[in-house]
Every structure is written in structure tokens, then in C-alpha cells.
Structure 1
Amino acid sequence: MDFTFAQLSSFNETEAYIYNYVMQNKNQVLEESIRELANHVHVSTATIMRFCKKIGCSGFTEFKYKLKESLAVETYEQQFTEFSFGEFMKHVNTHKYSESIQKAGKLIKDADSFYILGLGPFGGIAKYMSHSFTQIGYYCYK
């Protein structure tokens, strides 16, 4: 689960203890009832409910749902990062990739002008590339 700085800094000692327990035992907490979690962190079920409400959940069931959802996202992101980097490195080291880079370089070299497209966070990169190509004599549309 993603907690804001404001949420984390507003936790009292008991809430911070609950938070730390949950973050260190996510899979176990998903299998526990509210009473079992309360017993593990040595608080009442009412304290767990107040904690759930403080972090924006209507109750313990929604809390567990959000925890499960965030755990699935973390797992996917970790697998995707490991997979994509490894696959990218394999792809970069192929003859086909080298030929593609050489072909793209030749197309750029032979062009009078060209478009550079960068969407979202890549807009800044597109602007930088356009500026760089303009500095060496190409006319770039961004």
C-alpha cells in the first residue's frame, strides 16, 4: 500500500507499530482476521478499525483488499522490471538490432528534416533531441 508522507507522519506510536507489522508481514495479514491481527500487534480490534479509517479505508475488509491489490502491483512491477531489462539486453546484443540502429542512422543522415515525438515524460527528451539535431544542421519538428 502506498502511504503519503502526511499519513505516515500523523501516526501515533501504536499506529506506527501496526503499520510496520503490516508492511513486514503482508502475506500473513491477508490471511488473518481482524482479531488475529489485533492479537499479533497487541491492540484491540477497535484500534485496528481506527487505523483502517485513518488511512482511508471504510473497514478491515477494504484494507485487506487494498493491501492485496498493492501486493499484486509490487509483484508485477518486480517481475516486469527483471523480465524487461533481461529481454532488452538480449535484444540489444543481436545482429538485427545493430542493423536497425545503422539503418535509422542512415535515414537521419540522409534526411533534410524529420519529426521527433515524445509523449508524457518523454516530451522533455524529444525537446532535447530536437534541439540537439537543430544545433548540427537538421530541421526537426517536435
Structure 2
Amino acid sequence: MNLEAAVMKNKEAFNETDKAIVSYLLQYPEAASKLSLMELAQKLYVSKSAIFRLSKKLGLSGFSELKFELSELTAKKAQREKYAQGLDFDANLQKILEETVKYFKGLNLTDLFNDLDRAETIYIYSTGWQQQIIAEYLAHSFFLIGKKAIILPSARDEVSMLGRSVKTNDMLFVISFGGFNKTILEELKKIDAVNNQLKLVSLTSWQPGKIASLSNYSFFFKTTPFQFSNQNAVTFSSAYVLIDLLMNEYGKHCGL
């Protein structure tokens, strides 16, 4: 039996409790397979009978068979992860960088470059340590072409104060992996309410998030996992290439 297929086949019959149980089982099959019926029920704050009824809905005889299927699913996931780690990192990275160049060539940068010309100060804010490194690279790139760039500390208060201190036509670059940082979203909305002259530019991962929707200009980069990592580490090479392309094109615009 394929547990994932059984879930898809019978999902229309699930109630809210079933959905909560299934969500945990599919996300953590190994941990769930090691729990007793009572332990699993206590962990999910459901009754033992709710788990038993779900097993029946999935076409299983009971909890013992469900535990077996969870063990099978664990093995399948491990096999898929091993296969994914065996994929050619070099080929993936080359493909992403080629897609980044293609994506860049399709951008209309006239308005952005005009706003950069008018900006006295460019502020840069990042939402994680890897993004902080990208922020430093971006600031250095602006320095090389004669633009003043200030990296804001990764603190909420710094963003809060920005709306009251910036000058007209200044710009804020936000670098975020997912683009869904709730705290920063709230502060960006406040900034817009206080100073709607500040131009916001976002650099986020490929899936557009809420930060991108608030931005005057939004740019996207792709990532790919490092083959040797077991901690979900990814390479941000695409972001650096995107910055290089932007700076090179802006340099041409400035006649540098």
C-alpha cells in the first residue's frame, strides 16, 4: 500500500481532525511510527478512536498497520532524499545561473535607474545571516559606482525609525529568502504610512511573497541545495549574479 496515495484518494472524506493527524503523519512519519497509539493521541491532542477511525478511512485494519505504513513511508522518503543528494549540483547551479541571466535580460530597469540617480542614500536591510552577507556585497557594489549605501542592523527598531529619518527619494533594499517575514512586513507598512516617498526594492527567492507585493521594484533569485549538507543549506549564487548584472547595467546607465 502507498500511504501518500491512500491519503490523496480518501481526502474528501476527512474531517478537520483527520486533516490534522494526516498532516503530522506525512510530515513526520519516522517519529510517528515510533509512538504508541496513546502517545500519538496525546501528542496530537486527539482521541485514540480518532486515529483508529482515520486508519479505517485509509483502508487499513487498524493502528498496527498504520505504523507499518509509516515505516514504509520513512524508508521511501530516505530513498528520495538519497536520490536528490545524488543529483548533479554543478548542472543545477549552471541551469539556475543561466535562468538568472535570461530573467535579467527581460527586465525593464529604466524607472529603477532613474530612482537610483535621484537617491541620496540607499538603505539595505536583510532578514537572515546569509542575507546579511548579500547585503554587504550589495553595499560594496554601490560604493564602487559612487552611491552611498547604509546597511541597517537586523533589528526591528532600526526599520521602525527609518520612515521618520529618510529624505525624499531615498531607497530601501530589503533582502529576504522567503519574502514572508511578518515583523518586517508590519514595519514596511508603517514606513509607507509615514513616508510614502521612500522607494522600496526587494530581493527575494523565486516565489513572490508579500514583501515583493509591497515593493516599488522586486527582483527574484533562485537557490539550490548543497549536495553535502544535511541542514537544508542552499547556495545564493543567483543573488550575487543578479546584483552583478544590476550594477553592471546601472554603470552603463551612468556612463561609467
Output the TM-score relative to the length of structure 2.
0.32
**Counterpart AA for 2:36:** S
Partner residue of 2:8?
5
- CA displacement, residues 19-76 of structure 1 (integer Å, 9 cap, x when unaligned): 1122233222111000011111222211111111111111111101111101101211
Larger helix proportion of the pair: 1
Identity %: 30
Summarize the Cα distance change of 1:80–1:6 in structure 2 as closer, same or farther, 3 Å threshold: closer
Summarize the Cα distance change of 1:87–1:60 in structure 2 as closer, same or farther, 3 Å threshold: same
Partner residue of 1:135?
none
Partner residue of 1:63?
66
What does 1:1-142 correspond to in 2, within 5 Å?
1-3=3-5, 4-83=7-86, 85-86=87-88
**Counterpart AA for 2:48:** T
- CA displacement, residues 72-121 of structure 1 (integer Å, 9 cap, x when unaligned): 012112212322x33996xxxxxxxxxxxxxxxxxxxxxxxxxxxxxxxx
Summarize the Cα distance change of 1:39–1:56 in structure 2 as closer, same or farther, 3 Å threshold: same
**Counterpart AA for 1:74:** K
Partner residue of 1:115?
none
What stretches of structure 1 move > 6 A for 4+ residues in a row?
A: none
**Counterpart AA for 1:86:** D
**Counterpart AA for 1:29:** A
**Counterpart AA for 2:18:** E
**Counterpart AA for 2:19:** A
The structure with the largest alpha-carbon Rg is: 1
**Counterpart AA for 2:52:** M
Measured after TM superposition, the shift of residue 10 of structure 1 is 1.7
Structure 1: give runs of 5+ residues left out of the alignment.
Answer: 90-142
